Homo-oligomer: A and B are copies of this chain.
């Protein structure tokens, strides 16, 4: 039996996440190329077909089976109330895909202190369903209107409050808005169609993809360190190195010395190297890595 005509359909988010998503896939070993104006990125894998589609619609189409697997935010899975398998969380370290919050915000000078103060008010948002559920859960009656964008500019003239997505809050502050409450935290997820998930061939391919995407994310901000150490200092050096996993210690020709190799977070290197040096390590050097699968 051959899998030669089996194909996995992959939905990729078009728009602001597109470049960072394709970049992540490239680090994971999947090199898509996108022709200008085309929605069908090509890749040298006959078992994979990719389509670019808006993140807002992804979960809907994965549920319907139009795609076997796709990337979108937890927010849009909830907003569209889609029934899909959530395979993996993909929390990028780059600005464009780090966890985001949907917040309830009002003008700085507004008397509104909690969601309770919105009774009878008018709220503009791109996530109408999430907002309505949140109001209902808090026993508040308020009208919710779909906003096509530029939502931050609407209060106070075009709305009393908004529910808007934010990473750092700086766009809200720039528009003189105050965050009242956080309604939802969201991050990118790899989701799968329920039926595709039951197909062993598809499931293995989806799981491999998840493993590699997480390996690529995992390697961001990590570096390799290598050094030589006298055997006598080995215990001390090992105790200094953060215990993600034990360092690889290999024998050397000179049997009084060993070579150590370890993958660490780049941010701690500036504290770690001086300590290693003081503990007796020599020939310490740092190098970059692309993927890291623990």
Min Cβ gap A265→B in Å is 11
Q: State which of B212, B219, B267, B290 has its C-beta within 8 Å of the C-beta of A223.
A: B290
Whole-angstrom CA separation of A269 from B292 in the bound complex: 12
Residue-wise, chain A 265-294 has the 8 Å CB interface mask toward B (1 for contact) of 011011101100100001111111111111
Given contacts A37-B171, A274-B208, A219 and B153 within 8 Å (CB-CB) = no
Which stretch from A105-113, A129-137, A185-193, A245-253 is at the chain B interface? Answer: A245-253
**A window 235-257: CB within 8 A of B:** 245-246, 248-254
Which stretch from A85-93, A144-152, A194-202 is at the chain B interface? Answer: A144-152
List the 8 closest pairs (A to B, CB-CB), nearest first.
Answer: A29-B270, A39-B153, A249-B253, A208-B274, A54-B148, A286-B291, A286-B290, A284-B293
Q: A261: which B residues are within 8 A, CB to CB?
A: 226, 259
How many residues in A have their beta carbons less than 8 Å from beta carbons of B?
75
Q: State which of B149, B248, B283 has its C-beta within 8 Å of the C-beta of A248.
A: B283
Query: Is A34 positioned at the interface, with any CB of B under 8 Å from its CB?
Result: no
Closest to A76 in B: B148
Whole-angstrom CA separation of A292 from B276 in the bound complex: 13
Residue pairs across A and B with Cβ atoms less than 8 A apart, 24 shown, are A14-B150, A28-B270, A29-B269, A37-B171, A38-B174, A39-B152, A53-B153, A54-B150, A207-B274, A208-B271, A211-B274, A212-B273, A246-B254, A248-B252, A249-B253, A251-B251, A253-B258, A263-B283, A263-B285, A277-B293, A283-B292, A285-B289, A285-B291, A286-B290
Given contacts A30-B270, A211-B273, A274-B207, A150 and B291 within 8 Å (CB-CB) = no
Q: Are A277's CB and B223's CB within 8 A?
A: no
Closest to A157 in B: B66
Q: Are B57's CB and A147's CB within 8 A?
A: yes
Query: Is A143 positioned at the interface, with any CB of B under 8 Å from its CB?
Result: no
Residue-wise, chain A 154-190 has the 8 Å CB interface mask toward B (1 for contact) of 0001100000000000010011000000000000000
Given contacts A39-B152, A53-B150, A250 and B245 within 8 Å (CB-CB) = no
8 extra interface residue pairs, beta carbon distance < 8 Å, beyond A29-B267, A38-B174, A263-B283:
A52-B153, A53-B150, A57-B148, A66-B158, A208-B271, A246-B254, A248-B259, A286-B290
Query: Is A51 positioned at the interface, with any CB of B under 8 Å from its CB?
Result: yes
Q: Are A284's CB and B291's CB within 8 A?
A: yes
